[in-house]
Amino acid sequence: MYKKILTLFIFILFSIAYADSAVQTDWSGGPGVLIQDSSWTNTFHWETDIDWSTLPSTIVLPDTVIIDFYLGIGPPGGIPSVYSEDINNDGYMDILCAGSGYPRVAWLENTDGSGTSWTEHVIDGEIQGVTSIYSTDLDSDGDMDILGASCVENEIIWWENLDGSGLLWIEHCVGRNFVQATSVYSEDIDGDGDMDILGAAR
């Protein structure tokens, strides 16, 4: 049950993230990609009919559905990280998001599986500067937990999904003094059956 953290310090001259994406099963049952418009806006796109543009690193979304977080869903002030996972185990893919300009980590419940009706659930309304989030069953209890990296609080954190509903959470600090933490990920690195944590800082 005791988790290990593999610390990776990555020194970067500059970093501007224009999009975060997570390959997933989309709301209609086919493969899709969840994409953040840019690092300074509050708009999400998702689409199954995706193609590459002739411009480098540019994708084409011909029939895009938009969730605009200025309409009152999700954390305001920019969304530096998004991730998709079935948080409450109802068979529908939900969205995790972290706010940079406002202290909040939240998940958006895909209430009917259509991707057109969402309910926001705040996981942590106090933590600031979360630039990366990820979801996995970290404690092997059968439900999805959430990890985060905070460049303001200089921590790697994970939130335990207590009963699998996504409504009750306990915060655990994995690593403090992790200066300018920018990224977090989880995998069984040493093959012992436990999920380990990878963190990156700059």
Would you state the pLDDT for residue 128? 87
Tens of pLDDT, residues 29-57:
444 555 544 443 444 554 445 555 555 55
Domain extents in the chain: 5-201
For residue 20, pLDDT beyond 60: no
For residue 1, pLDDT beyond 50: no
Using the 8-state DSSP alphabet, how is residue 16 labeled?
A: -
Element (H, E) at 24: strand 21-25
Q: Do the beta carbons of residue 63 and residue 130 sit within 8 Å? A: no
Q: Mean of the per-residue pLDDT values for the chain?
A: 73
Q: Do the beta carbons of residue 8 and residue 183 sit within 8 Å? A: no
Tens of pLDDT, residues 143-158:
999 999 998 899 999 9
Q: Report the alpha-carbon angle 132-135-37, nearest 5.
A: 45
Would you state the pLDDT for residue 65? 45
Under CATH, to which class is 5-201 assigned?
Answer: mainly beta
The position carrying tokens 């999920």 is 195
**What stretches of the chain show up as alpha helix (H) in DSSP?**
none
Tens of pLDDT, residues 67-113:
554 445 555 556 778 889 999 999 999 989 887 666 789 998 989 88
Which one, of 146, 147, 148, lies nearest residue 131 by Cα? 148
For residue 185, pLDDT beyond 50: yes
Mean pLDDT confidence for 161-169: 96
